[in-house]
Amino acid sequence: MTRIALCQIPVSPDPSANLKRVREALARADGAELAIFPEATLTRYGSRITELAEPLDGPFVSGVAEAAREHGVAVIAGVFEPGPDRVHNTAVAIDAQGAIQAAYRKIHLFDSFGAKESELVARGAEPVVVELAGLRVGLITCYDVRFPELARALVDQGAELFAVIAAWGSGPLKEDHWITLVRARALENTMWTAAVGQAPNPAESSDGFGVGRSMLVDPLGVVRADLGTGPGIQVVEVDPEVTASARTALPCLEHRVLGVKRS
């Protein structure tokens, strides 16, 4: 068993306020071996992400690493890194000793529903699987979850858990899309999936980011935990025996026919 804290926090434009929330959440994540925070935990989405972006050795990630080390828990959190002309939307993975183990730069940018993430964010290129808390974790960021080929690439790299981090936008059917897509990625890959979104922040509600609904989904697509819409921390358990049992009953990964082409 691996104990994972789903850390559904509201996010402010102020990185120092968000770092305080991370520290408070880790203090509440009793017994967790891995804590997962939302996309854009550094600062709330908006034009200021270009000036507030920090390198991975900057004060925000360094503060998160210090808190991880203090509490003896690995952490995944979303940040923005400076780039030559635009920032990277990055999921940083930190081990329980406070060392950065991986950084995944979001591949699929949210140029949909009237948004244009690519105006501020440069696209990443490489899928990332990182070992944390004894698990090989495949990293997925928000809009990425709409693209099953990324999840399959992570499976092929040996992922044992998907960590999906998001600042999911609100709107008609959007919450339903989130739930359906997270469950689909879990079921089609018979994979434990821990999905963590921002809680709504009433002080910043005009931008629509953050619907909550962080959840743990098992390898047969069953929702084992759902945090609803408000802020919250919940520690859940991932059991590899459930994965083995699911894949015995539903060996769909073995049944893949690679290289299928249109006639």
Question: Do residues 205 and 76 lie in contact, with contact meaning Cβ atoms separated by under 8 Å?
Answer: no
The catalytic residue among 106, 117, 160, 204 is 106
Active site residue 106: yes
Give a three-class secondary structure readout of 145-180: HHCHHHHHHHHHCCCCEEEEEECCECCCCHHHHHHH
Rg of the Cα atoms in the chain: 17
Helix (H) or strand (E) holding 181: helix 174-188
Q: Which residue has the tokens 């073995």?
A: 254
**Residue 81: helix, strand or coil by DSSP?**
strand
Catalytic pick among 7, 33, 39, 81: 39
Distance CA 238, CA 228 (A): 20
103-132 burial, b at 16+ Cβ within 10 Å, e below that, comes to bbbbbbbbeeeeeebeebbbebeebbbbeb
Query: Which one of 7, 54, 117, 142 is the catalytic residue?
Result: 142
39 is catalytic: yes
Q: Scanning the structure block, which residue is given the tokens 């980011």?
A: 209
Q: Is residue 104 within 8 Å of 94, Cβ to Cβ? A: no
Catalytic residues: 39, 106, 142
